[in-house]
Amino acid sequence: MARRPAPPLPSALKAPPPRPGEGNGPLSPVEQAKEAGITVVDWVDERTSLSGAARWLMFRKVPKGTNWYYTLGSATLFAFLSQAVTGVFLAMFYRPDAAGGAYESIRHITDDVFLGQFVRGMHLWGASVMVVLVFLHMGRTFLFGAYKYPRELNWVIGVVLLILTMVMALTGYLLPFDQRAYWATIVANNITATGPLVGPYLGDFLRSGPEFTATTLSRFYAIHMLLVPGAIAALIGAHLYLVTKLGTTAPPWSKVDRRPELSETEV
């Protein structure tokens, strides 16, 4: 890598050049730290060959005209990561107890726990942010025609991610277990049950029985904090693999480069 020229220090402050035969002298602490870092990375890389994968993932060619709208997918990813982290810490205080404990534990988080209201607020507002971002990202890929060959599978994975995101929003809404949470879930569950033929059984599955009971809350909690986040994380992995593998689409308005030295007749 090219180095910037050293700042013009007065000669009294400059380190004296090494004398002949002294080599480069002992390493300074900063240099030692750098050296140690490089050693660790080399050690891991020698045993895993991960640097190739990292380079493959990070130093990709992107089409001309790539713009801010291409960041919506990463924005969604960070919204998901934020939900995951804040969610894990909320789970340290939350109790899925339908007989009053759930509501009380949420009250405790909001009123008593240090930064509890803030972390809960991040998770609560972050949920809406993630839903909005997923839709914006989907709109971007649709309007840019990024769902076309060979990226159809990524669109399909995206649709599943969209559905799972909505499942997260639905199941998370019950957890505070206040009046709004309870009735919204009753309504959502009954809407599910209005699907013909399978609806009634789906409703029973979600509720874990014909009526809303304590099991309903634990079921929603398990779906919300274990089942769906795992599936979303795995699918994001597949989604990003395909993005890296196939590259991103050029914006629909970008013209094909007509440089004569690249056209076929010249080759």
Partner 1 sequence: MANKRAKQKSKYTLDRGIPGAFEGETVTRRRFMTGAAHSAGAVAAAAFTLPALGFAVGPIFKQERHSWEDIGPLEAFSENNYIPVVVTINPGVGEVGKTTAYVRKRNPAIDTDRYDSTTPYIAISTRCAHVGCPVRWIDAAERFVCPCHGGVYDLLGRRVSGPPVRPLDRFPTRVRAGRVQLYTGRFSVNSELRRFSPRDPGEPLDGIGQYLYPSRPSARIP
Candidates 109, 122, 134, 174; binder of ligand HEM (CB under 6 A) is 134
Distance CA 150, CA 132 (A): 26
Q: 128-139 in b/e burial notation, b at 16+ Cβ within 10 A?
A: ebbbebbeebbe
Q: Which does 146 bind (CB under 5 to 8 A by kind): ligand HEM, partner 1, none?
A: ligand HEM
CB 102 within 8 A of CB 176: yes
Candidates 106, 146, 193, 206; binder of ligand HEM (CB under 6 A) is 146
Candidates 162, 167, 184, 186; binder of ligand HEM (CB under 6 A) is 162
Distance CA 42, CA 178 (A): 54
Distance CA 208, CA 102 (A): 18
**Is residue 228 part of the contact set for ligand HEM (CB under 6 A)?**
no
Min. distance of Cβ 196 from ligand HEM in angstroms?
26
Candidates 118, 125, 142, 183; binder of partner 1 (CB under 8 A) is 183
Nearest alpha-carbon partner for 236 in 68, 79, 85, 8: 79
For residues 210 and 252, which CB has a smaller minimum distance to ligand HEM in the complex?
Answer: 252
DSSP secondary structure letters along 96-130: --TTTHHHHHHHHHHHTSTTHHHHHHHHHHHHHHH
Min. distance of Cβ 91 from ligand HEM in angstroms?
20
Lay out the site mask for partner 1 across 194-233 (x = CB under 8 A, - = otherwise): x-xx-xxx-xxx-xxxxxxxxx------------------
Candidates 159, 166, 198, 234; binder of ligand HEM (CB under 6 A) is 159
Question: How many positions of this chain bind ligand HEM (CB under 6 A)?
Answer: 29
Min. distance of Cβ 163 from partner 1 in angstroms?
19
Candidates 86, 154, 192, 216; binder of ligand HEM (CB under 6 A) is 154
Distance CA 132, CA 97 (A): 30
DSSP secondary structure letters along 7-52: P---TTTSPPPPPTTSTT-SPPHHHHHHHHHHHHHHHHHHHH-HHH
Distance CA 240, CA 235 (A): 9
**Is residue 165 part of the contact set for ligand HEM (CB under 6 A)?**
yes
**Interface residue list for ligand HEM (CB under 6 A):** 70, 72-74, 76-77, 80, 134, 137-138, 140-141, 146-147, 151, 154-155, 158-159, 161-162, 165, 232, 236, 239-240, 243, 248-249
